[in-house]
Amino acid sequence: MKKSENSRRDFIKKSATLVIGTIAASSLLNQAFASETISENNFSPLDGGKFTLPVLPYSYDALEPHIDKLTMEIHHSKHHQVYVDNLNKALQTSDASVLGSPQTFENIFDKIGKLQPALRNNAGGHYNHSLFWQLMTPAKAGVENVPTGKLGDAIKTTFNSLEEFKKQFADAAMKRFGSGWAWLIKTADGKLVITSTPNQDNPLMNLDAIEKKGTPVLALDVWEHAYYLKNQNRRADYIASFWNVVNWDTSESLFTNSK
């Protein structure tokens, strides 16, 4: 098996709990990463074999004034719920001989190029959003929100400074035409790379269309529904606000525990 495939599967295994909604707080996520106790059972959808909407690890208004309550409520309870519902429907009509079993993100992303577009769109939508919620946390008054530890050092080494990293990440987010995501990923050879994907694709998908593959360390949703109520067409303002609520502890866990 190729090293990149090992890295992709390793990350999915370690983040499986959060993407199927069984993690309620970032601290629990960090413990799972640190202990590396997530088992194969965490891949399986819950609720009678169906994927479910994860509970946010904070209230809808917890990210204000940077991301407003109404946007969070609609984004989570409406948009994300639709991805969950449509993913479950798509799985029911998928060719079992192609998908095989179990019906997990690891399996879906590995075979994504052979599956119907509905699975690509909705499995990606469910997974990406579940990760996104965990990568944000309420801002702490008077505390500068910056990465520390091994990730902080790696960002400085790779991009020369945190400010330069933010600039390049924001540039990727701004230049993503239409809807999509901006990512900071850890590649199979351990390097940090900034990239972006359209729609609900992500760097874990086994697709030739994914230019840069690797383990997500940071993700930003740049679909208009993520910011339009507060920022209208001002995507740059939304990106600037995001830095105030990044959960660098989760990013650090994703970075240090991926192989």
Domain ranges of the chain: 3-58+66-134, 149-257
> Is residue 100 over pLDDT 70?
yes
| CA 177 from centre of chain | 19
Query: How far are the Cα atoms of 13, 25, 98, 250, 252 from residue 31, in angstroms, in the given order?
Result: 14, 10, 35, 10, 12
Ranges 82-86, 120-124, 144-148, 217-221: which has the least confidence:
144-148
Asked if domains 3-58+66-134 and 149-257 share a fold, the reply is no
| CA dist., res. 10 & res. 214, Å (int) | 11
The CATH architecture assigned to 3-58+66-134 reads Orthogonal Bundle (1.10)
| CATH fold of the domain at 149-257 | minor pseudopilin epsh fold (3.55.40)
β-pair type (192-198, 180-186): antiparallel
| CA dist., res. 193 & res. 174, Å (int) | 16
Identify the pLDDT of residue 212.
95
144 pLDDT tier (thresholds 50, 70, 90): confident
Name the nearest CA neighbour of 200 among 221, 173, 226. 221
Residue carrying structure tokens 């902080």 = 152
Average pLDDT over residues 103-127: 91
- For 71-95, the pLDDT digits (tens) are 999 999 999 999 999 999 999 888 8
Q: Is the peptide bond before 147 cis (omega within 30 degrees of 0)?
A: no
> Is residue 99 over pLDDT 90?
no
31 pLDDT tier (thresholds 50, 70, 90): very low
Mean per-residue pLDDT over the chain, rounded: 84
Indicate whether this model's pTM tops 0.75: yes
| CA dist., res. 69 & res. 241, Å (int) | 14
Residue carrying structure tokens 């994504």 = 112
Average pLDDT over residues 85-110: 86
Name the nearest CA neighbour of 180 among 166, 161, 198. 198
> Is residue 47 over pLDDT 70?
no
Half-sphere exposure of 186 (CA within 13 A, CB side): 23
Query: How far are the Cα atoms of 5, 236, 240 from residue 26, in angstroms, in the given order?
Result: 26, 27, 22
Which residue did the predictor score with more confidence, 39 or 102? Answer: 102
Average pLDDT over residues 51-68: 94
- For 219-258, the pLDDT digits (tens) are 999 999 999 999 999 999 999 999 999 999 999 999 998 7
Q: What interhelical angle do 3-19 and 248-257 show, nearest 10?
A: 140
> Is residue 12 over pLDDT 90?
no
> Is residue 29 over pLDDT 70?
no
- Find the DSSP H helices in 100-175: 105-110, 117-134, 149-159, 162-175
Torsion from C-alpha of 109, 113, 116, 122, nearest 10 degrees:
40
Instruction: For the chain, state the CA radius of gyration.
Output: 17
Identify the pLDDT of residue 2.
55
